Structure 1
């Protein structure tokens, strides 16, 4: 959210899951379209979303079912590794409005010793974050993903190469928890 303006028009959350990010985007956006291929999780997203929020959830593939743009903001969290990477970036670029922002939080396959070291460090941090996120709750929210799970196949250098080819000027940063962030702003 730090990468986004305080107010913007239309937003697309590709791979929206239970809708947490879509609802957060709705606090700044005129309207938000959430897409996910999992009908069970889309139904859950609809249940969890107040009718007053300007959010619509659709069961659709991000590459073939995206409602027409343009979008001022497109987000894609832990989803792009399920898609043909370069095709997905090109697709999102085409749907982004001039001056719009694309934010991808993706997963990369470990390749180097430092990658594996970060993975080892991330394990206890991941457990700690889950505990912090769920403390005070009587039970975890019953949201089970029924969509297929896929491990990341691209290494970070491969991701950087393809991202720079499809999105010149994209900024990429390695993160803990097996993730990276990609931020790209389209030309005005």
Structure 2
């Protein structure tokens, strides 16, 4: 296989992983919303909260996939570097696009500085994941991507839900989704 073919294959692989992470994100958001009562929602819009959860789950799973691509570089450095680069590019582009779509209608409802701070986060969708790694699992979920998801998602449930129940469910469903992502996404 020549370099151009390998790059094309890597881009297709990254797209498949990104799309799978999106589908799993939707599934996880629906599973969490269906199992833990969410009586509050941002701007009183449960669809917006579920969409935010799906996006957070997707990016948590993409972070795990990027970590696995880095590990896989030991087997084939050029291919897995290309998959990782394409996946990261798609994630950054998707985060910026989603933020613009979500924030545009909110411009009239929220202070500009708050929305600007949210928009700035899309420049680095992995900022919250600094120091997180699946390899830290022996230390508990706090230092893993799942711990980051717990910190990001539980506030969507406000004080009206049992945050420990939300965290437990996030742990359970996310680790299962990581297994599916690695297996079905061809990352193992």
Q: Same fold (TM over 0.5)?
A: no
TM-score w.r.t. the length of structure 2 is 0.29
TM-score w.r.t. the length of structure 1 is 0.29
Structure 1 or 2: larger helix share?
Answer: 2
Structure 1 or 2: larger strand share?
Answer: 1
